[in-house]
Amino acid sequence: MRKVIKLDASGLIYLTKAGLLNLVEDLYEEVIITDAVYQEAVLQGKAGGYPDALVIEQAIAESHIQVRQPSPAAGKRLVDARFPERLGAGEREIIVEALEQKCLAVLDDLHARAAAVALGLSLCGSDTVVLEGLLRGRIGGEEYQTKVTRLATVLGMRADDLAELLW
Amino acid sequence: MGAVKMRTLRIPLEEEETLRTLDEVAGYYALSWPQLVKKFLQEGMQTARLDHTAELYARREVTLERASELAGVSIYEMMAHLRERDIPAQRRAGDVRADAAAMLIRNGRSDIAERLAG
């Protein structure tokens, strides 16, 4: 089975800021975002002059990241799911798309995760990707510590929570 | 397009200092007093909206994406605002552990996942 991962806008931006897009592309055969995520991470970012938006755009141009429109089935699920107002448009699309494709979604924030769990979606956080890189031998122990610390700093994780990722 | 609703505010200003400053700043921007006050109001409202939605994020009531939608700013701008205000990520140690265990199981390492849980 192909290893596919879907990213919401915040996860995509955080992984980009931490310089981890290459690792995600290395670990997964398909890295997918939706139209809403593209709008938020690329178009709005470029309009605001954020350089990370250009990095993401480049990764899309080089086909490392694919942008997919939600399928009609996902569109119906989007309506049926009746997501709470606490979630953003990109997160909703990613959740229903990942459910349709039965693949993994990266979601870091509480209510997006809660909605995903309630719908039976397989999910992980941005930091899990780095840990997976270590487990699968793509990065060594020292590199792991550096990368995960950088990501946690970008994410704004509390020191106690970051400690969970280090040893 | 529907008719635009207009309301007029009357703001009594008495302090000499405030009146003098308004004159100076209005001159600087080449605006009338009403135009200047409207500009201040719009800028102040945007800041208040950003602060309010950042607070909703800090209380874990909305996600970062939703916070940016509510504030009418990009996710990048909201991220920068959260950072400036030193608001931590919603992700907690429990999430990290749960996701690590699930990832280990996906990769056929239930043995390590069990040790992690234990």
CATH number reported for the structural domain that contains residue A25 in this entry: 3.40.50.1010
Per residue in A137-159, pLDDT tens? 999 999 999 999 999 999 999 98
Chain A CB contacts of B91 under 8 Å are 108-109, 125, 127, 155, 157, 161
Per residue in A56-92, pLDDT tens? 999 999 999 999 988 888 888 888 888 889 999 999 9
- Residues B51 and B78 both lie in one domain: yes
Report the C-alpha gap between B33 and A141 in whole angstroms: 62
CB contact under 8 A, B74 and A48: yes
Q: Which residue of A has its CA nearest to B88?
A: A156
Quick one: average pLDDT of B46-56?
Answer: 96
Q: How many domains does chain A have?
A: 1
pLDDT (0 to 100) of residue A39? 96
Q: How many domains does chain B have?
A: 2
Chain B residues contacting A via beta carbons under 8 Å: 60-66, 68-69, 74-77, 79, 82-83, 86-93, 95-97, 99-100, 102-104, 106-107, 109
- Residue A2 confidence (pLDDT) above 90: no
The encoded tokens of residue A123 equal 């999910």
Please report the sign of the dihedral spanned by the C-alpha atoms of residue A34, residue A35, residue A37, residue A38.
positive
Single-letter residue type at A6: K
List alpha helices for B4-109, DSSP H. 16-29, 33-58, 64-71, 75-84, 93-106
- Residues B63 and B40 both lie in one domain: yes
Per residue in B14-24, pLDDT tens? 889 989 999 99
Quick one: average pLDDT of A105-118?
Answer: 94
Number of C-beta neighbours around residue A18 at 10 A: 21
